[in-house]
Every structure is written in structure tokens, then in C-alpha cells.
Amino acid sequence: MKICSSCKVNKELKEFNNSKRTPDKLSYRCKLCSSIDAKKRYDNNPEFKEKSKLRGKVARLADPQKFRDRNNARYAVLRQDLRDYKQERGCIVCGYNKSPQALDFHHPDPDVKEGHVGKMVGCSQRMEEEKKKCVIVCCRCHREHHDGMLEIPV
């Protein structure tokens, strides 16, 4: 246990960042206080904000493959989550759940549709919100519904 120098609360050691400068190798401030201070500094200092953005851009330009690999790994996890989500639920009409590639996200109310769920892997929060608006149907039932042959229960 350690007391944060900012908020004066006794906290677990895991709630402090590592620091080479202190005797116990932990920061004087807890992670939460450090984060709040960094956000204030970023928001209140336009010059710092620009320098920070520039540092990120320079790092991306120096090693673009590193950032590409990181993003591709993140997208792969999100795509797999989508596949698992579809396969767990299966078609709401016939119950099919063998192949996630044969299952579609269907918006019962097309007016609330903001985009295709499968194309939103770059923004997990938007993707989660859009998934909640959908039901899962197999490709056959989905096509029959759009041909007017089948009514999808909601």
C-alpha cells in the first residue's frame, strides 16, 4: 500500500506507474491522478497538444509497418469477435449457426441504420452500438425477407 501525493488516498501498489527516479521505483502519484493531470495539461496548452500530435505522426512515419501490424492485429480480434457473436446467436428465423460467413446482420428498422456492422471494425464503439440495432439471420432467410417471401420476427 502507498499514499498518492495528489489525492492523499492509500492505494494498492499496482495503481502506481513505474518510475526510475523514486526509491521504491513507483511514481509518487497514482495512475488516475497522473492521467487527470496529463489530460489537463493537454487540454489547456495548445502548443503541447500540437507537439504531442507531431510526435505521434513522426513515430508513424518512422516505422509505418509497426503501426500497420498493430492495427491489423486489433482488426483481426474485432473481426473474430463479430464471427463468434454471429455464430453464438445463429439465425433468428431458422436457427442456422454452422458458418458465421453465412450469417448476416439485419436492421429491422432501416431508418436507424448508420452503416454495415462488418465494415465498422475500425471503431469498436460504433460497431457495438450498431450490433444492438440488428438481428442475426442466415443469408437464405435474409434474401427471402428482402424478396418479400419471409417476415423476420423482431
Query: Is the model's pLDDT at 7 over the cut of 80?
Result: yes
Q: Name the 3-class secondary structure at 138.
A: strand
- Taking the complete model, does pTM exceed 0.75, yes or no? no
CB neighbours of residue 78 within 10 Å: 16
- How much is the pLDDT for 55? 86
Query: Is the model's pLDDT at 122 over the cut of 80?
Result: no
Q: Name the 3-class secondary structure at 29.
A: strand
Q: Residue 123 is placed in which grid cell?
A: 471503431
Query: Is the model's pLDDT at 52 over the cut of 90?
Result: no
Please, what is the end-to-end C-alpha distance for the chain in angstroms? 52
For the segment 134-153, the average pLDDT, to the nearest whole number, is 93
Q: Which of 52, 33, 32, 34 is nearest to 42 (CA)?
A: 52
DSSP, res 117: G
